[in-house]
Amino acid sequence: MKYQEFKKKQQDEFNKLPMKAAFGDKQFKEMMAEWGLTTSKEDLEKICSIGAGAYCLKKDYHLFLVFGERSVKESEEFLSSDENLVDALKYEFGNHECCLTFEFENGIIALGYTVKEFLSDDRKKKLFVKARKEYINSLEG
């Protein structure tokens, strides 16, 4: 499986989680109504914010925790393969327009690592250099 397919698989799983979003009072009231709730204090205690304007019912919050833990483990396992890590870096280099900015470290950050942590690992550093070279070569021709 290529990195882009891996990301899509994880995104599809995330999209199935029971959440809604609201970015203003009107949308918030509509969201609550979709759950059969009002904006009463009692009903507000039945939901929780999961960030970025997204909410879920408190009874469903554990599903987000389970997904998060599984997602991290799957990512670590996927990126433990040299081939997958190079593919992921090249994808993120393109996604972050490193061909224009030459800030290839953004590819590292997009994978959830700090630059210092990543480049202090000899294997990852070697694969970063390889991925950067392959990415630049792919632009030339």
pLDDT digits (tens, 9 = 90+) for 37-48: 999 999 999 999
Q: Are 49 and 55 in contact (CB under 8 A)?
A: yes
Question: Please, what is the angle between helix 61-79 and helix 3-15, to 10°?
Answer: 170
**55, β-bridge pairs:** 20, 49
Q: Residues 114-134: pLDDT tens digits? A: 999 999 999 999 999 999 999
Predicted confidence band of residue 140 (pLDDT cuts 50, 70, 90):
confident
Q: How many domains does the chain have?
A: 2
Handedness of CA 71, 74, 80, 86 (dihedral sign): negative
Has residue 3 got a pLDDT over 70? yes
For residue 25, what are the domain limits? 1-79
Residues 6+ apart with CB under 8 A from 46: 35, 37, 57, 58, 59
On whether both 66 and 37 belong to a single domain, the answer is: yes
Provide mean pLDDT across the span 24-30: 97
Predicted confidence band of residue 141 (pLDDT cuts 50, 70, 90):
low
On whether both 121 and 60 belong to a single domain, the answer is: no
Q: Which residues of 1-141 form beta strands (DSSP E)?
A: 20-21, 47-51, 54-57
Q: Residues 46-103: pLDDT tens digits? A: 999 999 999 999 999 999 999 999 999 999 999 999 999 999 999 999 999 988 888 9
On whether both 74 and 85 belong to a single domain, the answer is: no
